[in-house]
Chain A
Amino acid sequence: MSTPGLALRQVRYENKSFWRNPAAAYFTFAFPIVFLVIFNLLFGNAKLTLPGGHTVKQSTFYVAAIVAFSVITASFTNLAMNVVFAREQGVLKRKRGTPMPPLAYLAGKILHSGLIAFLLVAIITVFGKVFYGVSLAGNRIPAFLVSLAIGALAFSAMGLAITTVVPNADAAPAVVNAVILPLLFISDIFIPLTNAPKWLGTVGNVFPVRHFAEAMHQVFNPFAPGSGFQGRDLLVMGIWGLGALLVAAKFFRWEPSR
């Protein structure tokens, strides 16, 4: 079978495994929704002044932010954990002893995490429309989908890259969360950066999370002109994705180290 064929087959088996672990599946979906509800309860009715002087309700901010957060959770956090656990259990080593190209296996995992990400995004978008009246203009849909795809691919690559510095499964949650949680706080995801010191925004701009968030905010911003494509933000994400891919290709490990 060809590499793409094997990758699609892997997606099918990943999907079976995913739904047969109901607790994990349930919380994968519940997690972003719970965040969306809590942030909106706390800050949703506040007014947020946009750079152009327009104001929107903060719930608009949170729907866009949690869409980005959903993709990061599925493609980065969950993918990294999934790969580290497969490595810990010896599944990766077993795969490596078969003639299947490693790329097919990893592509299968990336595609499956992408599917979960898109399902989550769909749920959040519908939830945002129904409960918070946040809607996406029809002319923004291309930018929305392209940005999501670039985000999912870039964060998947970063998810694979971070497994190279996670020595074993016990260390995985600590390492992965220590990397991603601070970035979520300084990147316009959990809190709007309107009152933050300038230097913090500068730090956030170095990393890809902020750029993904901005791409989503722009897509959902009803006052922004044009199609909503944020070329510069997508470029920064792409560069991070490619860099991560090189790190993963060079340092990926098939066995845990202790």
Chain B
Amino acid sequence: MTTVTTLAPRTRRNVELLLLVFAVGIVLLAYAGVGIAVNGTLPPSLLSYGLGLAALVGAVHVTLRLRASYADPVLLPIATVLNGLGLVMIHRLDLAQDRAGASSFAFRQLVWMTIGVVLCLLLLWLLSDHRRLQRYTYSAMAAGLVLLLLPLVPVLGKNINGSRIWIGLGPLSFQPGELAKILLALFFAGYLVQTRDALSLVGRRVLGFSFPRARDLGPILVAWLASLGVLVFERDLGSSLLFFGLFVALLYVATERRSWIAIGLGLFVAGCYVAYLLFGHVQTRVLLWLHPFSQKALETSDQIVRGLYGMANGGLVGTGLGRGRPDLNYYAESDLIVPSFGEELGLVGLFALLLLYLVFVERGLRTALGVRDGFGKLFATGLSFTLALQCFVVVGGVTRVIPLTGLTMPFLSYGGSSLVANWAILGLLLRISDQARRPAPQVEPTNLSQDAPTEVVRIA
């Protein structure tokens, strides 16, 4: 009889620590670079700022050692470097636009980052097993839909930058869609893991695709209508694409039926086309996308054009942090932060950022592969994929792959709701990845060999 020895997987926490030191180092170098470029000296707050950043991510690191020691070691360092570089760029724009002290965007972003980190810590401490979240499937749906539709409430909703995806409470404004995407990912995962059998097994084959029964089409139609509602009433193609893409992707993963993708994409394209024919604001977006330099488009908005000028100014290697003019762009610190980085860090820097996102997403999907329960797989897939889609919508918007819409770049952009939501996503992914990589509880082998007539081999 051969003995199967289980190799204890390593926690990789020390790798994470090393990467974290590296990440904080990069951020501080960038911060110092901005100071030298703009003021000619090292920023006086370099040390305190560095210690603050190190303390925040250090807390997460220690928590991981204690509460989720097998969590993926790459996710936190990537989030750190992205969030940190975002802060540096926001600080750099503060300097250019004379915002200082408590009213500076960088300070506010730092506060939001702290809140995000605390939320991440709370998730890691309080949620020992992600499967407990499955209980809240339908509450998540309700909460998610409410959040999604909240901006349409007359008094609460605010129309900013042509999109109605904000709510305002006094001086505070908030993008509820950012939190809704987590709740909806949770709902889709919980719902699909229950119904996947019905959705995947029943149906008939047409043209090589097996199509589902009409009654099983219900949920996807509801999701489609909801996303179209977002497109038409909140005027936000980005969120619309995000939610619908998330739903279709999870539907596909849950059922393993490619027909869902065909149906989903078909419905989305058809819906967008009809919306284009019917609504002026959609037509305007398309005009700005396809012909940004035309006279008619420039009269409406030169947002994209300015972003393009910025990126072109950066060229291959960029102007260097603090040496370009990203402050000439609108929303240079939020929706259009990507052109800001493109300008100052160049194509090289932009590639580096995009690859960081790619690695983050792929690590998230890797977690989905590794985790053993269906809910966890779908949830992790959903969280990772929304992040990928969001990157695509934002960067694709500024580089004219798709029409530009108002979404934030995860971790990078200025914006409290987005930052908090993304730290929550990080917390959830860390929790699930801990489960995915943690060795299965050992069953006493002696009992098995004595009592059981057959050998149980565990396939991880």
Query: Bound pair: A and B?
Result: no
Q: Contact residues of B with A, CB < 8 Å?
A: none
Binding site for B on A (CB under 8 A): none
